[in-house]
Amino acid sequence: MVAYQILADLIVILHAAYVGFVVLGFAAILLGVVLRWKWVRNLWFRAIHLAAIAVVAIKATVGMVCPLTTLENWLRQKGGQARYPGDFLGYWAHQLIFFEGPLWMFTVSYVAFALLVVALLVLAPPKRPWEHDGS
C-alpha cells in the first residue's frame, strides 16, 4: 500500500513539473526575448513548450480528464488513501496545481494560454537550427 502512495505522490510531483514547465517556460520566453537570451529561441524548446500546452488545451476542450490525475487517483485508491495527497511534497505539489472552479473556466484559461503561446511564437519566432545568427 505504501508503494501506491509513494507512486501517487510522484505522479503529483510530475504533474506539478509539467505545469511548471508550461507556465515558467512561458515566463522565461517572455523574459528571454526582452533580455535577448538565445536559448529561448531554440526551436525544440519552443515546439515542446507549444505541444505541452496544446495537449492541455485540446484535452480540456474535448472534456477529457487529465491522465495524470486519473492515474494519481487510482494509485491513491489502491494505496488506501482518499483522493488527496498524503505527504509533504505531494500535498504542496497538489495545492499548487489544483484549484476549485467551474470546468468552463479552466477550458477557457487553457485555450487562452495556448493562444498566448502561439502569439509569442509569431511575435518572437524560434531560430531554425539551419539558420546562423551572425555572431
Q: Domain residue spans in the chain?
A: 2-123
Q: Using the structure block, give the residue that is written with the C-alpha cell 513548450.
A: 49
Partners of 127 in beta bridges: 42
Per-residue model confidence (pLDDT) at position 11: 92
Length of the chain: 135
Are 16 and 91 contacting, i.e. CB atoms less than 8 angstroms apart? no
Burial 52-77 (b: 16+ CB within 10 A, else e): bbebbbeebeeeeeeebeeebbebbe
Tell which wins on pLDDT, 98 or 85.
98
Dihedral angle sign, alpha carbons of residues 47, 52, 55, 58: negative
Q: Which residues have CB under 8 Å from 75's CB, separation 6+? A: 4, 5, 7, 8, 11
Dmax (CA) for the chain in angstroms is 60
pLDDT of res. 9: 87
The pLDDT, as a whole number, for residue 103 is 84
Count of C-beta atoms within a 10 Å radius of residue 44: 9
* Averaged pLDDT, 121-132: 84
Over residues 96-109, the pLDDT tens digits come to 777 788 889 889 99
